[in-house]
Amino acid sequence: MSEPSAPATTVSAAAPAASGNGHLIEAHDLWRTYAMGAEEIHALRGVSFTIAAGEYLAVMGPSGSGKSTLMNLVGCLDTPTRGTYALRGKVVSQMDDDELAAVRNREIGFVFQTFNLLPRATALHNVELPMVYAGVAKEERLERARRALDMVDLGDRTSHRPNELSGGQRQRVAIARALVMGPAILLADEPTGNLDSATGDEIMRLFGRLHQQGNTIILVTHERDIADHAHRTLFIRDGQIESDTIRNAGG
Amino acid sequence: MPFAEAARIALTSLRANKLRSFLTVLGILIGVSSVIAVVAITEGLDRYIADKVLELGSRSFAVQKMPDIITSREQWMEMMRRRDITMADLEAVRAGCADCAQVGGMHFTGRDVKYGRVTQTSVQVIGITANVQRIGAIRDLTAGRPLVDDDVDRARAVAVVGQDLVDAFFPGGMEPIGKEIRLGTQPVTIVGVAEKKGAVFGNSQDNFMWIPISFFRKLYGTRVSVIIQAEAASMEAFDRAQDEARVIMRARRHLGFAKPDDFSVETGESVMELWQTATRGIYVVTLVVTGISLVVGGVVVMNIMLVSVTERIREIGVRKALGARRRDIVRQFLVESVILSLFGGVLGLLGAALFSWGLAALLGSIMATTFTAPIRLWAVLLAVAVSTLVGLVAGIYPARRAAALDPVVALRSE
């Protein structure tokens, strides 16, 4: 196999925000309203915040608070009913389906509670997948996928299928997949929810390491001790930000 | 998403559901295999007819009063009013057709033939000039001698008989040559035995006897129309020879330019055309049946694709979260649907090969000849094209439904 020519594997170090004030994410007065029959349900009621590149942030809140809705908006899976959301200076809130797909592909690395790996695909192929949709050539895809798996210490498990891997290993495959496109943010939704506490700790240490390498991480959780790994916590209740706490980043 | 990737996904999912995939494509399998098998069988029959029945490719043609094919009573009445073809016509064609290698004449009739107390019924009694034995498909003799010009000149009561007569009259290897059989009350001496040809569509080709044409005319009268049997000198001269014969006949009958022929020039091809008209009817019926089974097959594929989409809503959500656009999802499911249908088409092709091979063997044993039903390249291409089309049509709706899924909803599904 020939040496891949593109040095594009910037798995670490998200690029600094291009917008004028240096914020990676700018959310202004986000509303998300669902129609339930004749009734309107406001899942988010005017949420505004900014996130800088390199932050490690936790979004907390009880179930039904709107934190999942917020995560969907931040992850570009959904668009707000009202308000603006800009990612790397680009206004995402007005984009159509395919533009959103392209943003998710390049800028968002999802880590799910249930891993969401394709069951019939090998670890390597799972990690390859975002690059398939980005149109990366096959050889480069394989090379980058291997490197990403190396980064999460699964370089020797590339040809295993999800059911041949432990929960922690599966989540690390998912993290490799999330990182492989060099996204602006790593968006993790209850990443330790399906893991025992020891494995959960191991995953949180990995997040810590990734943060130190310069990745911006947004953690959605309802567990206080998981949120404590982050340096800033947004607490959501009833569709609004109840508190926004910045702790001194210990490093 | 590149096509190869979509194909890989599709193959993985087909492999994961082997039995379901097979059952899904049964309709397409049956549709494709029935159309190909029927076409192969009819083509085999065509060839059989051409080779065995009409002996096409021979350079022979006939000039006769009645056409080979009469499609209505009115036409038959009209044809019956035509003038008989005479021995003088035969002589004129023989003298004037420069591109003919052989010009002979014949009559035939069906009669009972007796030997001792044994009667063979409905024997085709054919009065011929000696050269007719050398025109068209040549029958070798297994015993004795052929009819010769001298037999014709002297109107000798001699015959070359088919194998059926030998079997009926001389069982157990008795010598037929020199024996006298009776045609009505007239004794006829057997001088030769023609080789066996077997049956075509169940009709024996060996229940006949050749007698000199002059002897035939003595027995059954001279007021019967002669069938002129001619053979062109070469395949290139085939059309020219027919034209020459036609011009001679028209001149003898003083037909003006505007008048149509009042006789028929027949080659094996005219019968072939009738046969093919009949086969076209079979084709149409087959196409309708196949069309129905392909529509049903397509509906089944569509149904299973809808199931497949429903089963994989979560996967679609994941793919969308990772950056799959609508067209990526559409392509994934379309390719899967097409590959599924193609799988049916290929199985159908195998089924057709097996089916026509089996049927050919059966027909061959019934007709006591080798019979082949070839599967042609175009049939393969047709199977591929039709099943691809079915896959596309059946897949488009499920694929669009999959692509239109909201990723948030899809990711939440169990």
**Tens digit of each residue's pLDDT (9 = 90 or more) over A110-156:** 999 999 999 989 999 999 999 999 999 999 999 999 999 999 999 99
Beta bridge partners of B200: B203
- The chain-wide mean pLDDT, for chain A, equals 88
In a domain, A231, yes or no: yes
Query: Does residue A191 belong to any structural domain of this protein?
Result: yes
Q: Is residue A84 part of a domain?
A: no
The structure tokens listed for B386 are 């039709």
Is B171's Cβ below 8 Å from some Cβ in A? no
Buried b (16+ CB within 10 A) or exposed e, B230-243: bbbbeeebbebbbe
Could you give the angle at the alpha carbon of B213 between the alpha carbons of B211 and B215, nearest 5°? 70
Could you identify the residue written with the tokens 């006897």? B209
- Number of domains chain A is built from: 1
Helix (H, G, I), strand (E, B) or coil at B158: strand
Residue whose C-alpha is closest to residue B59's, from B183, B239, B190, B210: B239
Chain A contact set for B16 (CB, 8 A) = 120
- Comparing CB atoms, the residue among A78, A121, A130 nearest residue B323 is A130
Instruction: Inform me whether the pLDDT recorded for A251 exceeds 60.
Output: no
Q: Check CB contact of B16 with chain A, cutoff 8 Å.
A: yes
Please judge whether A110 and B322 are an interchain contact, meaning their C-beta atoms are less than 8 angstroms apart.
Answer: yes
Structural domain containing residue A186: 54-79+108-113+121-246
d(CA B18, CA B7): 16
Residues ≥6 apart with Cβ < 8 Å to A7: none
The answer, yes or no, to whether residue A102 has pLDDT greater than 60, is yes
DSSP-derived letter for residue A66 is S
Q: What is the pLDDT of residue B294?
A: 85
Residue-level pLDDT at A36: 87
User: Helix crossing, A123-134 with A138-151: angle to 10°?
Assistant: 130
Instruction: Specify the pTM.
Output: 0.71
Report the SS3 class of residue A128.
Answer: helix
Residue A154 lies in a domain: yes
Chain segment A82-98, per-residue pLDDT in tens? 999 999 989 998 899 99
Predicted confidence (pLDDT) at residue A203 exceeds the cutoff of 60: yes
Beta strands in chain A (DSSP E): 23-36, 39-52, 56-60, 82-87, 90-91, 108-111, 185-189, 216-220, 232-237, 240-246
**B331 neighbourhood in chain A, CB within 8 Å:** none
CA distance B405 to chain A (A): 10
Q: ipTM value of the model?
A: 0.89
Q: Are B133 and B211 in contact (CB under 8 A)?
A: no
A residues 164-183 near B, CB within 8 Å? 177, 181
Asked whether the beta carbons of B126 and B208 are under 8 A apart, the reply is yes
- What separation, in Å, do the N-terminal and C-terminal C-alpha atoms of chain B show? 26
Q: Is residue A1 part of a domain?
A: no
Phi-psi region of A197 (alpha: psi -120 to 50; beta: other; left: phi over 0): alpha
CA-based nearest residue in chain B for residue A135 = B1
Which of A77, A106, A120 lies closest to B407 in CB terms? A77
Across the interface, whether the CB atoms of B408 and A132 are under 8 A apart is answered no
Contact B405, B316 (CB under 8 A): yes
Report, as an integer, the average pLDDT of A176-188: 95
Helix axes A167-179, A197-212, angle to 10 degrees: 20
Listed in sequence order, the DSSP H helices in B255-325 are 268-311, 313-321
CA–CA dist A78, A72 (Å, integer):
6
- The verdict on a CB contact (< 8 Å) between B16 and A101 is no
Percentage of chain A beyond pLDDT 90 is 81
The DSSP call for residue A157 is -
Instruction: Record the tokens describing residue B120, joined without a space.
Output: 């063979």
A144 in a domain, yes or no?
yes
Cβ-defined contact of B321 to A98 (cutoff 8 Å): no
Q: How many residues does chain A have?
A: 251
Rounded to whole angstroms, the maximal C-alpha distance in chain B is 104
Residues of A in contact with B17 (CB under 8 A): none
Answer yes or no: are the C-beta atoms of A109 and A76 closer than 8 Å.
Answer: no
Q: Find chain A residues with C-beta within 8 A of B327's C-beta.
A: 98
Helix A167-179 / helix A123-134 crossing angle, nearest 10 deg: 20
User: Mean pLDDT throughout A179-194?
Assistant: 94
The torsion region of residue A111 among left (phi > 0), alpha (psi -120 to 50) and beta comes to beta
> Closest-CA residue in chain A for B314?
A116
> Pick from B2, B315, B321: which is nearest to A110 by CB?
B321
Of A77, A116, A133, the CB nearest to B408: A77
Interface mutation target, options A81, A110, A133, A161, chain B, most CBs of B under 10 Å? A133
Which of B169, B172, B163, B159 lies closest to B196, judged by CA? Answer: B163
pLDDT band at A26 (very low <50, low <70, confident <90, very high): very high
Distance, CA of B380 to CA of B372 (rounded, Å): 17
Half-sphere exposure of A223 (CA within 13 A, CB side): 15
The Cα–Cα gap between B305 and B362 comes to 39
- Output the pLDDT for position B86: 93
Report the percentage of chain A scoring pLDDT > 70: 90
Res A44 pLDDT > 50 = yes
Mean pLDDT per block of 10 residues along chain B (414 residues) reads 81 87 90 82 77 68 87 88 92 93 92 92 94 84 93 95 94 91 94 86 85 94 91 89 94 90 85 77 80 88 93 94 94 93 91 84 71 76 88 94 93 84
DSSP B142: E
Q: Which of B356, B377, B367 is nearest to B42 (CA)?
A: B356
Q: What is the C-alpha to C-alpha distance for residues A57 and A25, in angstroms, rounded to an integer?
A: 12
What is the reported pLDDT for A194?
Answer: 92
Higher per-residue pLDDT: B63 or A11: B63
Residue A151 sits in a domain whose CATH number is 3.40.50.300
| Chain B: residue whose CA lies nearest to A118 | B315
Instruction: Assess contact for B359 and B37: CB atoms under 8 A.
Output: yes
Residue A48 located in a structural domain: no
CB B226 within 8 A of CB B90: yes
Q: Evaluate whether A77 touches B321 at the Cβ level (below 8 Å).
A: yes
The answer to whether A101 faces chain B, any CB pair under 8 Å, is yes
Task: Specify if A129 maps to a domain.
Answer: yes
| Strands A232-237, B203-204: pairing kind | unpaired
Candidate from A112, A133, A177 with C-beta closest to B324: A133
Has residue A12 got a pLDDT over 70? no
Which position has the higher pLDDT, B227 or A248?
A: B227
Q: How far apart are CA A155 and CA A145, in angstroms?
A: 10
**Residue A8 pLDDT > 80:** no
Which SS3 state, helix, strand or coil, does residue A52 take? strand
Indicate the residue type of B83: R
Q: What's the token pair of residue A220?
A: 């959605």
pLDDT value of position B38: 79
